């Protein structure tokens, strides 16, 4: 029993001495006392493990924050997909001639222009169909009556083609350009129309020069079934060739 008590006392002394030296930043001398060295090593390992544990805790907190951000990002992506999944895609762009060159017009009545060269027509809202005038003509008596009837048929024919029809209620952007005729005296007037109502125009009817062009644009709300087209005014002319000066474009900005 005496030997055990002495041993416990000796170990206690070593522990106290080692702890005192560690706290003072000193490495205890271990000559003749292996127990003290082992105790110091265990203390150092414990301190290192504590530092590593603190770093792991910090990393775990950062990982938790990153996971939360990732979840929020995934939610935002899903919300955006749900918003865009049901949104109609409507856009078109076309030029006046699909081949050749020359004037379009003059016509005795205001006439929607047919833009025949289609660059794009997503949603198929623009109708470039040319139709057939002869199939719509009915027999009349007398040459004069035929001419009058021909103009009426011509107007009906053009109304059925070259027109954008809204397939969804929303806000739309439209732009059109015009190139005047090559005659010495300019004689070009075109207007952007909505359901037969003039919105805006481009014109060139004076001056001694030619080869002039202009453009105009609008942002307008449309209901389903509304029609938008570019109209050549009576007795006016526009010129075009393979350079595609006369264009008509539009697209849906957002639904309403």
- Identify the DSSP state of 225: T
Q: Is the dihedral of CA 157, 159, 164, 168 positive or negative?
A: negative
53 and 100 together in one domain: no
Last residue of a domain, one of 45, 61, 85: 85
Last residue of a domain, one of 49, 65, 85: 85
127 and 163 together in one domain: yes
The domain tally of the chain equals: 2
Whether the model clears a pTM of 0.85, i.e. scores above it, the answer is no
Give the domain extent around 173: 91-255
d(CA 203, CA 45): 89
Q: Are strands 163-165 and 117-122 parallel, antiparallel or unpaired?
A: unpaired
Which range among 23-27, 110-114, 116-120 shows the weakest confidence by mean pLDDT? 23-27
70 and 148 together in one domain: no
**Confidence check: pLDDT of 69 > 50:** yes
Give the pLDDT mean for 19-32. 49
CATH code where residue 183 lies? 2.60.120.40
**Confidence check: pLDDT of 74 > 90:** no
46 and 107 together in one domain: no
Q: What is the pLDDT of residue 65?
A: 87
> 126 near 166, Cβ under 8 Å?
no
123 and 50 together in one domain: no
Report in angstroms the alpha-carbon separations of 174 from 52, 192, 252: 65, 9, 9
For residue range 6-15, list pLDDT tens digits in order.
Answer: 444 444 444 4
71 and 138 together in one domain: no
pLDDT tier for residue 172 given thresholds of 50, 70 and 90: very high
36 and 95 together in one domain: no
More confident residue, 7 or 251: 251
For residue range 206-247, list pLDDT tens digits in order.
Answer: 777 777 889 999 999 999 889 999 999 999 989 899 999 999
Give the pLDDT mean for 75-82. 73
């Amino acid at each position: 029993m005496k030997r055990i008590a002495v041993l416990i006392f000796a170990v206690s002394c070593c522990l106290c001495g080692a702890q005192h030296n560690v706290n003072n930043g000193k490495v205890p001398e271990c000559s003749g006392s292996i127990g003290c060295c082992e105790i110091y090593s265990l203390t150092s390992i414990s301190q290192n493990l504590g530092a590593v544990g603190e770093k792991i805790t910090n990393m775990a907190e950062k990982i938790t924050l990153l996971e939360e951000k990732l979840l929020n990002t995934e939610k935002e992506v899903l919300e955006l997909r749900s918003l865009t999944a049901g949104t109609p895609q409507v856009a078109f762009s076309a030029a006046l001639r699909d081949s050749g060159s020359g004037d379009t017009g003059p016509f005795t009545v205001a006439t929607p222009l047919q833009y025949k060269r289609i660059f794009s027509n997503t949603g198929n809202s623009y109708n470039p169909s040319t139709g057939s005038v002869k199939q719509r003509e009915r027999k009349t008596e007398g040459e004069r009556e035929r001419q009058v009837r021909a103009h009426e048929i011509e107007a009906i024919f053009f109304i059925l083609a070259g027109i954008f029809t809204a397939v969804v209620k929303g806000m739309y952007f439209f732009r059109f350009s015009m190139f005047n005729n090559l005659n010495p005296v300019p004689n070009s007037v075109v207007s952007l129309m909505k359901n037969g109502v003039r919105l805006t125009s481009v014109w060139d009817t004076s001056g001694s020069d030619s080869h002039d062009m202009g453009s105009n644009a609008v942002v307008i709300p449309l209901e389903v079934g509304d029609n938008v087209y570019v109209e050549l005014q009576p007795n006016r002319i526009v010129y075009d060739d393979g350079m595609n000066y006369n264009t008509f474009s539009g697209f849906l900005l957002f639904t309403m």
